[in-house]
Amino acid sequence: MLSLLDLRARIDAGRLTPDGAIGLVREAIAHREPEVGALVCVDAAPVIPARGPLAGIAVGIKDIIDTADLPTRMGSSIYETWRPRADAPVVARLKNLGAVPLAKTTTTPFAFLDPTPTRNPHDPGHTPGGSSAGSAAAVAAGMLPLALGTQTGGSVIRPAAFCGVVGIKPSFRLLPTVGVKCYSWALDTVGLFAASVADAAHALALMADRPAIAHMGDAGAPRIGIVRQEFCAAPDPEAEAALAKAARAAERAGAMVRDLALPGTFGEAFAVHGTLQDYEARQALAWEYATHRDALPPLLRAALDAAQGIETPAYDAARRTAHHARRGLKDVFSENGFDVLLTYAAPGAAPAGLANTGDSRFNRLWTLMGVPCVTVPVERNAAGLPVGVQVIARFGDDGRALAAAGLVERALRG
């Protein structure tokens, strides 16, 4: 994989120019893209800044995020010729840092569940996950050092796990969602994919203008709670094995590790995620549903059909349940003395076939809580497919989540 920090170190040392770094990315795209199919389009003549902390870094932009220099098609024929007039603020920030938004990456239509044709770089017969399929696959295939995705259920953490890369879903609204096609305004979160935890931390710190995010490594050994989310169906044995392996590695590195059973409040919150998401999707996609329903893919069309029956009192009750759980999560951390939680990133490795994007059941609660989550690749299963875990911290404690994820990552390598 291409490392953002490695590329920047070579540029700073004068061994590589920003133009040369973009050239390396183009070579990688030419080599891997025909097999993986992660990209919608590539800018043939981008502006390549000579200066800036991210100069020379090519970025993939999920194709529901507005770009002035490239189309934004939402994964749908409805927007086949759509060309925004302006960059989304998150894209404008990348440009201000010197980065090059070089390519749009594939997304499931409107970031829901109907799959893309993108293939898992580790085995083309398996899904890369969704909805940020192209961003995860492009980083995993070594085509891009950084890519943007979004998460409403599990669309950053799960594909990062399936593709064996680091993904971070930051705290809710840490990165702006203006200029991002909305599915659920209470849940949609912009996230990142990178080759390592340090790469992801560096990029997020710059994009959020919060340097401390990248400098939490000296915060001491974390106190880690192992959470198995008993309110969900059990994971595959390989996911349980990866969680146990990550916990042992963290313990060897000096972390305090012990099991934690979440109170019933969190099972209740998990159960209302769909009500909140689908009620808002019904409004966010009201124009597309009213004027282009037959052009919507089958899973999304069926979901929006069903969402028409969600009554406002049920939505309001779901909001109250979520709010109660968010307040309770603060107590889970403080009363148990935990810095972070460690849990499954996905039920197992990427499923076979391209007909679905996998199950987000181990991600949805944490998206609803608005807290930072980081995927850490752990190992490969017998078929050579990656399996990962996720590290979770308090709201606003993104640096601590990344620091603990970095500790796990280093311990696993050791």
Q: Which two tokens stand for residue 107?
A: 């997304």
Those residues with Cβ within 8 angstroms of residue 413's Cβ, 6 or more apart along the chain or in another chain: none
DSSP calls for 255-320: -EEEEEPPPHHHHHHHHHHHHHHHHHHHHHTHHHHHHHGGGS-HHHHHHHHHHTT--HHHHHHHHH
Return the CA Rg of the chain.
Answer: 20
132 is catalytic: no
Long-range contacts of 333-340 (CB under 8 A, 24+ apart): 333/394, 336/225, 336/260, 337/223, 338/223, 338/224, 338/225, 338/260, 339/222, 339/223, 339/224, 339/393, 339/400, 339/404, 340/222, 340/223, 340/224, 340/225, 340/391, 340/392, 340/393, 340/400, 340/401, 340/404
* Beta carbons of 147 and 176 less than 8 angstroms apart: no
* Beta carbons of 52 and 93 less than 8 angstroms apart: no
**Amino acid type, 58:** A
62 is catalytic: yes
DSSP class of residue 111 equals: G
Catalytic residue among 135, 155, 171, 360: 155
Calpha distance 192→157 (Å, rounded): 10
Task: Determine how β-strand 58-62 pairs with β-strand 146-151.
Answer: parallel
Those residues with Cβ within 8 angstroms of residue 27's Cβ, 6 or more apart along the chain or in another chain: none
181 is catalytic: no
Q: Is 414 exposed, middle or buried (0-12, 13-18, 19+ CB in 10 A)?
A: exposed
Q: Where are the alpha helices (DSSP H) in 13-154?
A: 18-36, 89-96, 133-140
Catalytic residue among 62, 104, 169, 181: 62
Catalytic residue among 76, 95, 104, 131: 131
| Active site positions, annotated | 62, 131, 155
